Amino acid sequence: MHPPNNPPAVKLENGPDYRENYANSVQLRASLWDFLLMFGTLRQQTQEAVLIQNFQGVYLSPQQAKALLNVLSTNVQQYEATFGEIRLEPQGDSKLVQ
């Protein structure tokens, strides 16, 4: 099968359950068939306790996960070229993985 000469027009539409939220925590679970990204907010409750409240889980196929990796990588590089290096805070000896 040959690819079409003209790619189809893509229309983006938000569904009725579409929401935008802020996440400062993303956790990842991987299996043979898919990746699960769990988005949430992290709150330092005390010096010794952190609460992560997840609000959305999104399953991706391995192909979509790799495509997301490429898109994020390209966009982070462009952001850093414009605004400077994004520095990650040191994690110390915390056992919390994000």
In a domain, 76, yes or no: yes
In a domain, 92, yes or no: no
Cβ atoms < 10 Å from Cβ of 68: 14
pLDDT in tens, 44-65: 989 899 999 999 999 999 999 9
Tell me what the mean pLDDT of segment 10-15 comes to: 95
pTM, 2 dp: 0.74
In a domain, 59, yes or no: yes
CA angle 75, 14, 31 (to 5 degrees): 60
3-state secondary structure 19-48: CCCCCCEEEEEECCCCEEEEEEEEEECCCC
Low-confidence winner among 62-66, 74-78, 94-98 (lowest mean pLDDT): 94-98
In a domain, 6, yes or no: no
Number of domains composing the chain: 1
CA distance 78 to 69: 14
In a domain, 44, yes or no: yes
In a domain, 9, yes or no: no
Instruction: Identify the domain containing residue 64 by its residue range.
Output: 25-83
In a domain, 3, yes or no: no
Provide the pLDDT confidence category of residue 94 given band limits of 50, 70 and 90.
very low
CA distance 57 to 32: 18
